[in-house]
Amino acid sequence: MNRGRPPIEDPKPLTKYTREFIDTDGSVITWYYDVDKFANGPWKVDVEEAVIQESFEEKNAKLPKTQRKYFNPENQKWVGYGRAKQLKLI
């Protein structure tokens, strides 16, 4: 019979693991740890940017004036800068 308290078996520390962080804008940052490769921190970091879906109006507003499309209310179509200037839309 063994007497006394049984010996405590410490679990082996992790040598490979990943951590994921999700930013407020939706981008995902993944940190890869491997103690055998680099003991002081992550050896690799992946950043996946969030996909931002902009409407046509938002994209159009960011363009320079000469590359924007302008709405022609007479025929309900979009026209370029030169034609919009001829029609006096701008």
Residue 62: predicted pLDDT: 92
Compute the average pLDDT of residues 81-89.
92
- Is residue 34 one of the residues assigned to a domain? yes
Residue 73: predicted pLDDT: 92
- Is residue 38 one of the residues assigned to a domain? yes
Distances (CA, A) of 6 to 1, 2, 11, 20, 25: 12, 8, 15, 38, 51
Residue 87: predicted pLDDT: 92
- Is residue 32 one of the residues assigned to a domain? yes
Domains contained in the chain, number? 2
Q: What is the pTM of this model?
A: 0.52
pLDDT at 55 over 80: yes
Are both 40 and 22 inside the same structural domain? yes
Label residue 11 by pLDDT band (50, 70, 90): confident
Dist CA 70 CA 55 (whole Å): 15
